[in-house]
Amino acid sequence: MGLWDRDVCEIFIAPDPTVVERYVEFEAAPTGEWLDVAIHWTRERRESDWEFNSHMTTAAKIEKNRVTIAMRIPWNHWIHEPQAGERWRVNLFRCVGSDPGRGYVAWQPTRTPEPNFHVPQVFGWLVFR
């Protein structure tokens, strides 16, 4: 827990574009640590299923001027194998370093006053061909 407070890469995937409030979060760190959690936003709160297990695997390589982090996320009941033409809502994030001076990078910026990646309404589109 708390991996998101350290140096980490994250991907958020909402495979059902009609229910973007249900998505899965995957995180991996250069240390090899990782987590996966299924999330559902309701009007009242965010529900996190910490028992979710995607069976993902990760790998990391640290070089002088580069960090490479890979995630392998198998198809499962939450994330089905996509068909050609299917569109999923997705966002990618990178948290670099730790406070103070922590950096944040987002494929689709959430534009929140404080860094907050849990804004599924701004997730981008991943189109399968």
Residue 50 has pLDDT above 70, yes or no: yes
Query: Quick one: pLDDT at residue 40?
Result: 95
More confident residue, 59 or 6: 59
- In the chain, pLDDT over 70 holds for what percent of residues? 96
Of the candidates 111, 101, 55, the one whose C-alpha atom is nearest the C-alpha of residue 78 is 55
Class (C level, CATH) for 3-127: mainly beta
Query: Quick one: pLDDT at residue 114?
Result: 85
In which band, very low, low, confident or very high, does the pLDDT at 107 lie, cut at 50, 70 and 90? very high
Q: How far apart are the first and last CA of the chain?
A: 36
- In the chain, pLDDT over 90 holds for what percent of residues? 68
pLDDT tens per residue, range 27-43: 999 888 999 999 998 88
Query: Quick one: pLDDT at residue 95?
Result: 84
Residue type at 27 in one-letter notation: E
Which H helix or E strand runs over 63?
A: strand 57-63
| Averaged pLDDT, 91-103 | 81
